[in-house]
Amino acid sequence: MRELLTSPQVAPSILSADSSKLGSQVDEVMAAGARVIHIDVMDGHFVPPITLGPLVAGSIAEQVHAGGGAIDVHLMIEQPERHIEAFAAAGADSITFHEEATPHANRTLAAIRELGCLAGIALNPGTPAAALVELHDLADIALCMTVNPGWGGQSFIEGSPEKVSRLRPLVGGATIEVDGGIDASTAGAVAAAGASLFVAGSAVFGADDPAAAFAEVSAAVAGS
Ligand code: DX5
Ligand code: ZN
């Protein structure tokens, strides 16, 4: 996973995939070059919907790893520290939780690294970039939400590229990940601002041809 974070990557989010054929949807995007598969975990408390858990992460982990890929888990749950072990055991390569979801961000980042995963911390659109000032040494990934968490298919929040620019000098060597409303028309601006991991759900799996859509978003990133 660490190597995958050194070059720009588009990470398809399986939240928008057809769950009745999850394995073949993952195969399709990996055949098109995807190497980071993003899993959105929602608990019905931190955000209203309930989505995926360790069982689903574990069900595709072997397939993703066999193809040279990595599982990128995004926890939108309260008390994330209670669940990191289960996701690590399910095969997660990186685990990202929300700064707003726990008073124990420092301890949780360290615990994720101790489990052998890359540690990530996410910020809601309303949380200032400066919230990461005390944490950057412990974080491998800083995830800047570019929509409010909870649902796929929302519009990219304008002003997100500026927030990524503010985050860039605050997070040391951490990879900046962006999530929400990322498509071929929005990826370029956040890439130019310093993001290098681009989650795309509906832009990839909502398209008639997910492989072509993945290539299109990747080209927008590369051309920025
Ligand atoms: C939103 C999730 C996203 C979601 C993105 O709460 O964290 O990862 O899948 O979906 P799109 O790309 O459709 O905005
Ligand atoms: Zn996500």
DSSP, residue by residue, 114-158: HTTSEEEEEE-TTS-GGGGTTTGGG-SEEEEESS-TT-SSPPPPT
Question: Which of the following is catalytic: 40, 43, 72, 183?
Answer: 40
Which is the closest atom of ligand 1 to the Cα of 153? Answer: 13
Summarize pLDDT for 90-124 with one digit per residue, the tens. 999 999 999 999 999 999 999 999 999 999 999 99
Q: How far is residue 220 from each of residues 47, 58, 143, 185, 195, measured CA to CA in Å?
A: 30, 31, 20, 7, 13
Give the length of the chain: 224
- Annotation says 93 is catalytic: no
- pLDDT confidence tier of residue 134, bands split at 50, 70 and 90: very high
For ligand 1, residues with CB inside 6 Å are 13, 15-16, 38, 40, 74, 147, 149-154, 179-182, 199-203
pTM of the model: 0.97
Query: Is the model's pLDDT at 6 over the cut of 80?
Result: no
- At 188, the amino acid letter reads G
Give the chain's domains with CATH numbers.
Answer: 2-222 (3.20.20.70)
Pocket test for ligand 1, best of 47, 77, 202 (most atoms within 8 A of CB): 202
Q: Is 179 a catalytic residue?
A: yes
- Overall average pLDDT of the 148-176 stretch: 97
